[in-house]
C-alpha cells in the first residue's frame, strides 16, 4: 500500500515514525457489549509504545440520548489537550479489532478541522503480527492546545438524511451487514425497527477489508461500491448502526478521492427508533 498520513498508514510507516516528536498515537478500540471485551483493560495491558487511549463513549455528546454522538468542539479540544494532542501533531489512530472503530476517531478529527490524521492499516493485530513492540506503560503527557474548526459538511442529521432519501440527489450508503440492512436479522437494540433508509445502498464495511483487516486498494474499493449500485458521481452520506463503521466507508471514499461525503451520526440508532421516518426492507 502507499502510505498517506491523511488517511491510512502501514505498520512499517508507523514503526519508522514512532519516535517523531510531533507524532501522537491513539488507541480507539471499542467493542459491542456482546463481545465481552474491555477496550480500556486491553489497552492498559498492551498498547503501541506511547499510545493514549481514546474513549469513544466518553469523548462524546453527553446531552444526547444516542450512543457516542460527536462531542461539542469545546469538549473535544479540552479532552485532546488533556491527552497531549494538539495543533501541529500528526495523529495515527488504531484499534484492537484490526479496523473497526479507529476510522470513527479519524472522522472526529476531520470533523474538528484536523487533516493530519491517519488510521493504522490492520490495527494492533497487524502491528503485533509484524513483530513490532507493545508496552503496558502509561504515556508521559504534556498539555498541548488544539484548535477545533468544526466542519459542518462532514456530518448529517436525521432531517438532512430524510431529505436526501426523498430527493435522491445524495446517495445514502449503509455499512451494516446485509441481514440487518434487509431487515432479516434482529436489531441489537430493543424497540428498533428492522430494515434500512429508503433508497439506501448496502456496502457492509467488512467487504472493504482483506482477511487480515487491512483495507483493500482504492481500485478494489471502487469496484465494491459500484457492485453495490452506489453512484460515485453523487455526494454520499454514510450510515451504519451507531456511527462507528459508517466512518470506515467514509475513510474508503476519501482514499478513493471522493470528496463529497458526509456521515450520518445518529445512524440506525436514531432512524430505526424514530416513528417519524419511513423504513424499507429487502434489497435496496
Distance CA 258, CA 147 (A): 26
| Closest alpha carbon to 26 in 114, 107, 71, 91 | 91
* Three-state secondary structure call for residue 238: strand
Question: Under a CB-based contact definition with an 8 Å cutoff, are residues 35 and 101 in contact?
Answer: no
Tell me, yes or no, if 19 is annotated catalytic. no
How far is it, in rounded angstroms, from Cα 259 to Cα 46?
36
- Among 198, 150, 200, smallest CA distance to 175 is for 200
Place of cell 462531542: 71
Q: Where are the alpha helices (DSSP H) in 118-262?
A: 123-129, 158-167, 178-182, 218-227, 246-255
Would you state the cell numbers that stand for residue 86, as one nine-digit string? 494538539
- Residue 88, Cα to own-chain centre: how many angstroms? 22
Q: Are 92 and 120 in contact (CB under 8 A)?
A: yes
| Angle between helix 246-255 and 218-227 (nearest 10) | 120
C-alpha torsion sign, points 210, 95, 244, 85: negative
List, in sequence order, every beta strand (DSSP E) within 103-193: 117-120, 155-156, 171-174
Active-site residue (options: 39, 48, 236, 240)? 240
Active-site positions read: 240
Amino acid at each position: 500500500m502507499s502510505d498517506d498520513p491523511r488517511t491510512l498508514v502501514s505498520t512499517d510507516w508507523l514503526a519508522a515514525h514512532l519516535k517523531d516528536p510531533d507524532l501522537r498515537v491513539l488507541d480507539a478500540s471499542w467493542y459491542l457489549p456482546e463481545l465481552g471485551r474491555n477496550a480500556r483493560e486491553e489497552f492498559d495491558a498492551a498498547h503501541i509504545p506511547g499510545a493514549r487511549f481514546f474513549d469513544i463513549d466518553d469523548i462524546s455528546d453527553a446531552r444526547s440520548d444516542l450512543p457516542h454522538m460527536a462531542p461539542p468542539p469545546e469538549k473535544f479540544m479540552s479532552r485532546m489537550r488533556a491527552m497531549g494532542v494538539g495543533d501541529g501533531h500528526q495523529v495515527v489512530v488504531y484499534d484492537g479489532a484490526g479496523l473497526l472503530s479507529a476510522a470513527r476517531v479519524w472522522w472526529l478529527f476531520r470533523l474538528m478541522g484536523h487533516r493530519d490524521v491517519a488510521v493504522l492499516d490492520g490495527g494492533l493485530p497487524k502491528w503485533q503480527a509484524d513483530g513490532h513492540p507493545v508496552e503496558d506503560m502509561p504515556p508521559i503527557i504534556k498539555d498541548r492546545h488544539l484548535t477545533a474548526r468544526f466542519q459542518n459538511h462532514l456530518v448529517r442529521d436525521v432531517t438532512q438524511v430524510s431529505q436526501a432519501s426523498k430527493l435522491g440527489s445524495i446517495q445514502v450508503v449503509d455499512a451494516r451487514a446485509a441481514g440487518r440492512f434487509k431487515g432479516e436479522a434482529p436489531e441489537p437494540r430493543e424497540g428498533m425497527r428492522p430494515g434500512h433508509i429508503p433508497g439506501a445502498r448496502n456496502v457492509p464495511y467488512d467487504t472493504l477489508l482483506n482477511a487480515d483487516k487491512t483495507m483493500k486498494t482504492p481500485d478494489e474499493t471502487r469496484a465494491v461500491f459500484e457492485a453495490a449500485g452506489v453512484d460515485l458521481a453523487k455526494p454520499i452520506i454514510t450510515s451504519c448502526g451507531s456511527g462507528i463503521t459508517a466512518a470506515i466507508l467514509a475513510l474508503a471514499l476519501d482514499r478513493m478521492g471522493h470528496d463529497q461525503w458526509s456521515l450520518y451520526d445518529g445512524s440506525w440508532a436514531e432512524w430505526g427508533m424514530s416513528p417519524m421516518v419511513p423504513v424499507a426492507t429487502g434489497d435496496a
